[in-house]
Structure 1
Amino acid sequence: MDRERDDAPRELPRFALGPVAALAAVFAAVLTVLSGRYGYHRDELYFLEAGDHPAWGYVDQPPLTPLIARAATEVFGDSAAGLRVPATLAFLAVVVVVALVARELGGDRRTQVLAAGLAGVSAQPLAVGHLVSTACFDLLAWLVICWLTLRLLRTGDGRWWPAIGLCVGVGLLNKYLVALLVLALLAAVLAVGPRRVLRSPWLFAGAAVALLVAAPNLWWQADHDWPQLTVAEGIGTDDGTENRLLFVPQQLIYLSPLFVPVWVAGWLRLWRDPALRWARATAVAYPLLCVLVLALGGKGYYVVPLLLVLLVAGCEPAVGWTRRHGRAWPVVAVVVTVAINAAVTLPVLPQSALTVPLALNKEQGEQIGWPELADAAEEGWSAIPVRSRPRAVVFTSNYGEAGALDRYGPARGLPRPYSGHMSYADWGPPPDSMDGPVLVVRQEDAGGTRRYFTDCRQVARVDNGHEVENEEQDAPVLLCSGTTKPWSRLWPSLRHYY
């Protein structure tokens, strides 16, 4: 029998607009000041080039993030700081939505501000919030869906389904992972209720809205034989075992080890508190989502949005604890968390001091050394006789290197780069008439690339100048006399997805 109760509150506490807005302003100032301190991330360089090749889809992603990257540079300037304005705005929206989730769970103004603050200084939101990435906008989409779902469950008003469907559709235009959240939430509601929301005819309207919004990209993927599935399969094959082994430890650090008691208390509150019986599905959805991600070999950060919901739910017990035991230890925990998470996720340290942060967050290092890579390519290009350059090609092993040469190469007299990686493969190959020398920029471990070219010799090596051990540090630059086959015949072999 479906024993659902209608005791969910209809009235909510006032929203702490002023304090939350002030908190968001502080975060905005910090992120803006730091936004140009290092340089572009490899993915940002790729998004910039993808945005210059607008399409309804790309082999490894839907179109939203590249289009946002293109719009950002048009509106805010063609720089790393200008590009990252939408990421900052998305981060601020995350802070506000977290406060709205706290309000939805009955949190007063103090609890709302605490929830927004803890979420804002958590590691994963900071890590993705200061860079333009699919994960940045994915985090926002998931949290908005969770907030609207809580509102649906609390009120029982099926008219929230179309709004949820709209957010799901937009999320699908950014990253398909949002489908895992939908599955987990639906299964959780079916398991523990309130099931009446699943009987609403508005559910079908919401599903139709989601499909309508996502349809152009889904059509593109179908028309191109679903390359996204090939990419996902490759990630699971290459990284699945490591992702599964690291999954549980990552759950402990993705917000902060010192916040673990808070989100554990939040899970217990959602599961046990009779006043939140209507929201119990969110407690069930978290372990369900963990099982889905583990089964697929996905990355641990995929479940962070639901982890944030648990953190929010734990803020009210945390406020009660501080009233009984004092604020000293909680304040120390927050201060330590801010110091550690800022050093690990934000560009606050000198580039030469990133050895320790890189052990926890390698993405820090992926923002360093791209102009120096272009310098190395320029050095290699200078070894090509001037008369041979019109027929010469610059080829890179991955989209980060190609994106860097697209960005920094023209100022150094370099031609357009080519690559077989991800969607760069769709923007090539070079004409067969370009049968002269080939300048190959490749990662240190990308040895397989060399077999496609003849008479290769090393003419330069990448050095970022800070001894940062990222993927391109010490990458060789090779000068080859030509290719083993014409480019048109060679290109299918050069295409790769991971």
Structure 2
Amino acid sequence: MKSFRLLPALLALLRFATGYGLASRAYELHRDEYLYLDYGRHLAWGYLEVPPLTALQSWLTLALGGNWFWVKFWPLLWGSLTIYLVGRAVQRLGGGPWAVALAGLSYLLGAYARLNFLFQPNSFEVLAFTAVGYWLICYVQQPAPRWLYAIGAMLGLALLNKYSALFYIAALVAALLLTPLRRVLATRPFWLAVGLALLLWLPNLAWQIGHGLPVRHHMALLRESQLVHVSVAGFWQSQAIMNVLSLWVWVPGLLALLLSWRLQPYRALGLVYVAGLLLLTLLHGKDYYALGYYPLLLAAGAAWWQQWLSSRPRLGQVLRPALLGLPLALSLRILPLLFTTEPPAGMLALGARYQKLGVLRWEDGRDHPLPQDFADMLGWRELAAKTHAAYAALPAAAQGHTFILTDNYGQAGAINYYNRRHDLPPANSFNGSYLFWQPPTPPGGWQYILLVEEEPTPGLEKHFQTLQTVGEVRNPYARERGTRIRLGFQPDTAILAYTARRHRRELAAWGQF
């Protein structure tokens, strides 16, 4: 019995260990991770991309040295806690050790393997949605106010993590209204929980209002550049692909929550999925926005399978090992996608195998040789090293009068991360939150500008005494391949005035005046 209680914890340890043990070190950090790490240097109650919870993790990561282990520690921690709650949910729904193993295996071999490897807000969001559902199960079984307060606190943290938590909250309220749990909305503990969630979110909400609600511009940029490529068919195809190795677990789990008399008290969990996925479909949300809605379906599905097979012992002798063994066998074919076990050359050779699955399709809606996440984890160290080499070659007197300007946040963040122990001024960009972090012009102005450009801007030569290419990203697998580093000496007043105007224009677009 004791080992049964420990099984969810053992699954959590397995999730943590596989995250480190099955990762190829041929890959660097992801483009987004560099941006989020720079948040830790500029703590605030809000950022142009996401709320501030990630920044706190970044600050702690940098305080601990900022190495690869600590960067990956946070998503793996959130993933480990998620799988622990999935196991506990199975137990609360009446499942035994086999059902806990089935749900845990389904989580380990799903899209969460890669999600829990990237230092992004997504892993905590999945944990938050899973925890809310788990505590809802606890409340149904034991209607104590503490479960509602826990839900309120977690939803407050979820809002400090990603604004997409608002969609989950809308789906949760709709689900409660459609079930007998609607009576909880009339209780004092429920509204205290609502107040707790709002209190936690209040500093970021005040930051948003005080900065002109930049979230609106962020959503507009997403719609124009990324969400426009998301079709209804593509969104639902991705749902099946991301969870294909657990299809026979989460689908029965959803149906059982919606239709089974035994799980009727927990029907709100199934309705949360229906309402949440409907919202994401209508709003053309990215496919991975939905991943937080699946873990409790895995728990319900595993518990349903155990209950169904318990009355069919002879069939259970066949299906129990098959349901555990089949996903393991099938996962061998897609293991490099789940755990980044293959270096870039190996992934390139396997590309044709995965093309039909849609995993080679990038945000631009086109297929590429590597999955986008993989290409986004290459070339950064090379870029940072070549930028530092160009800066180190400058005269000592000029180094304090050098401005590093990049095209995007990934470039700026990578240069800052890999040179965090070097005497290098922070790299800057007109992209996202870097607009807040521009340094003041030093006395005497800028003597040199180091330009990091995906495509060199034509005609800049006439604005410098000299402008020369001093480096280029040559990693053949990197999304940043071809990015050039150009060094400009003695920029004229026209280019400096243009730079200042562009900075003001970009800030104005975000509602910053």
Please, what TM-score do these two structures have when normalized by structure 1? 0.87
Mapping 1:193-342, distance limit 5 Å = 193-245=180-232, 246-255=234-243, 257-319=244-306, 320=308, 323=316, 325-327=318-320, 329-342=322-335
Q: Is residue 8–residue 85 contact of structure 2 (8 Å, CA) maintained in 1?
A: no
Give the secondary-structure state (helix, strand or coil) at the position aligned to 1:202: helix
Cα gap change, 1:140 to 1:485, in 2 (>3 Å)? same
Report how far residue 187 of structure 1 moved. 0.4
Please say if 1:41 is aligned against 2:41: no
Q: Distance in 2 between matches of 1:136 and 1:159?
A: 25
Match of 2:380 in 1: 370
Is 1:484 the counterpart of 2:495 in the alignment? yes
User: Which is further off, 472-481 or 394-403?
Assistant: 472-481
Distance 1:100 1:409 in 2: 43
1-side partners of 2:412 and 2:58: how far apart?
17
Q: Are the structure 2 counterparts of residues 398 and 367 from structure 1 closer, same or farther at C-alpha, using a change threshold of 3 Å?
A: same
For residue 336 of structure 1, what is the amino acid of its counterpart? A
TM-superposed deviation, 1:402 = 0.7
Equivalent in the alignment of 2:477? 468
- Contact 2:24 2:341 survives alignment (8 Å): no
| Distance in 2 separating the partners of 1:449 and 1:167 | 52
Is the 8 Å Cα contact of residues 378 and 478 (structure 2) preserved in structure 1? no
2 CA distance for matches of 1:154 and 1:362?
43
1:493 aligns to 2:505 (yes or no): yes
Aligned to 2:119: 132
Q: Any conservation in 2 of the 1:36–1:80 contact (CA below 8 Å)?
A: no
The alpha-carbon distance between structure 1 residues 329 and 243, as it changes in their structure 2 partners (threshold 3 A), is: same
Checking the alignment, whether the CA contact within 8 Å between 1:42 and 1:400 is kept in structure 2 is yes
Say which of 393, 396, 401 aligns to 1:391: 401
1:55 and 2:66 aligned: no
User: What code does the residue aligned with 1:92 have?
Assistant: S
Using the alignment, how far apart are the partners of 2:445 and 2:338 within structure 1?
Answer: 43
Give % identity. Answer: 26
Q: How many residues align?
A: 478
Match of 1:104 in 2: 92
1:395–1:417 contact (8 Å) kept in structure 2: yes
* 2:416 partner amino acid: D
CA contact (8 A) 1:180 1:292 kept: yes
Could you tell me which amino acid in structure 2 is paired with residue 63 of structure 1? P
CA distance in 1, matches of 2:40, 2:24: 20
Gaps of 5+ in 1: 1-12
Q: TM-score, normalised by structure 2?
A: 0.84
Name the SS for the 2:376 alignment partner. helix
Report the CA distance shift for 1:451/1:338 in structure 2 as closer, same or farther (over 3 A). Answer: farther
Change (3 A) 1:410 1:205: closer
Structure 2 unaligned blocks of 5 or more: 310-314, 362-370
**Aligned equivalent of 1:350:** 343
Q: Kindly indicate whether residue 449 of structure 2 is the aligned counterpart of residue 438 of structure 1.
A: yes
Q: Matches of 1:258 and 1:82 in 2, distance apart?
A: 30
Residue 57 of structure 1 deviates from its aligned partner by 1.2
Matches within 5 A, 1:401-480: 401-409=411-419, 414-431=424-441, 433-444=444-455, 458-464=469-475, 467-470=476-479, 472-480=480-488
- Kindly tell me: are residues 279 and 448 of structure 1, through their superposed partners in 2, closer, same or farther at Cα, counting changes over 3 Å? farther
The CA RMSD measured in Å over matched residues stands at 3.0
Query: Are residues 107 and 327 of structure 1, via their aligned partners in 2, closer, same or farther at CA, if it must alter by over 3 Å?
Result: closer
1:115 aligns with 2:103: yes
Q: Give 1:468's aligned amino acid.
A: Y
3-state secondary structure, aligned to 2:360: helix
- What's 2:312 paired with? none
1:28 CA drift (Å):
2.2
Conservation of the 8 A alpha-carbon contact between 1:391 and 1:435: yes
- Tell me which amino acid in the other structure corresponds to 2:96: D
Instruction: Find the aligned partners of 1:249 and 1:310 in 2 and give their Cα distance.
Output: 18
* Distance of aligned partners of 1:272 and 1:410 in 2 relative to their CA distance in 1, 3 Å threshold: closer
Instruction: Name 1:23's counterpart in structure 2.
Output: 11
Q: Report whether the alignment pairs 1:90 with 2:99.
A: no
Higher normalized contact order (CA 8 Å, seq sep 6+, divided by chain length): 2
- Aligned counterpart, 1:164: 151
CA contact (8 A) 1:354 1:365 kept: no
Offset at 1:110? 2.4
- Distance in 2 (alpha carbons) for counterparts of 1:294 and 1:14: 43
| AA aligned opposite 2:481 | Q
Give 1:95 deviation, angstroms.
0.9
Shift of 1:468: 1.2
Do the aligned partners of residues 308 and 457 (structure 1) sit closer, same or farther apart at CA in structure 2, a change above 3 Å counting?
Answer: same
AA aligned opposite 1:296: L
Residue 295 of structure 1 and its aligned partner are, at CA, apart by: 2.5
Cα distance 1:25–1:269, how it changes in 2: closer, same or farther (>3 A)?
A: same
Amino acid across the alignment from 1:408:
Y
One-letter code of the match for 2:138? R
Shift of 1:134: 0.5
Question: How do 1:138-177 and structure 2 match up within 5 A?
Answer: 138-177=125-164
Mark the CA change 1:14 to 1:252 in structure 2 (over 3 Å): closer, same or farther: farther
